Amino acid sequence: MAQLRQVPESRLQRPLPEDLAEALANGVILCQLANQLRPRSVPFIHVPSPAVPKLSALKSRKNVESFLEACRKMGMPEADLCSPSDLLQGTAQGLWTTLEAVKRVGGRAPRPSGPLLVWAASSSSTWSSCCCSLSSTLGSWVPST
């Protein structure tokens, strides 16, 4: 489970609560994760407010369904997705299935085309260049292939 936590935590650049199932049950983090993988894939996210810190069941369900729809649009096979009720109830199987699918999609998120020239110092203190692509969806430097 620790390996599966790494993908959403690194993508969202923040640690997730210990009780991951409860944290994901209202769909807010899942929708934010989908938008990190593909911007604007979830156009509207219901979020709790200070006055009402817990989302209603209907708003939580809408978030989870929006997340699952975004996953479908990103190419996740239906067999790799769980049902909305699995996520809403925080079942271990639903959580495992979904995070495993996100991990696979997160690793093959589309890269922008076109090289970006980056100058790097070599160990011999001479400058050399390497051609890299900045993968905005992965948020890291990835060597061009």
Give the pLDDT score at 128: 27
Please state at what angle helix 57-73 crosses helix 92-107, rounded to 10 degrees: 40
116 and 144 Cβ atoms separated by less than 8 Å: no
For the cut 60, the answer to whether the pLDDT of residue 143 exceeds it is no
140: β partners: 135
pTM over 0.75: no
Output 22 or 63, whichever has higher pLDDT.
63
pLDDT for 28-39, tens place per residue?
999 999 999 899
Tell me the two tokens of residue 31.
Answer: 């929708």
Which domains does the chain show, CATH number per domain? Answer: 2-107 (1.10.418.10), 110-145 (no CATH)
46 and 63 Cβ atoms separated by less than 8 Å: yes
Least confident of 1-5, 18-22, 59-63, 80-84: 1-5
For residue 37, the SS3 value is helix
Range of 4-8, 54-58, 84-88, 133-137 with top mean pLDDT: 54-58
Question: How much of the chain exceeds pLDDT 70, in percent?
Answer: 70
- In 3D space, the residue among 106, 78, 107, 98 whose CA is nearest the CA of residue 25 turns out to be 98
pLDDT for 43-85, tens place per residue?
999 999 999 999 999 999 999 999 999 999 988 888 888 899 9
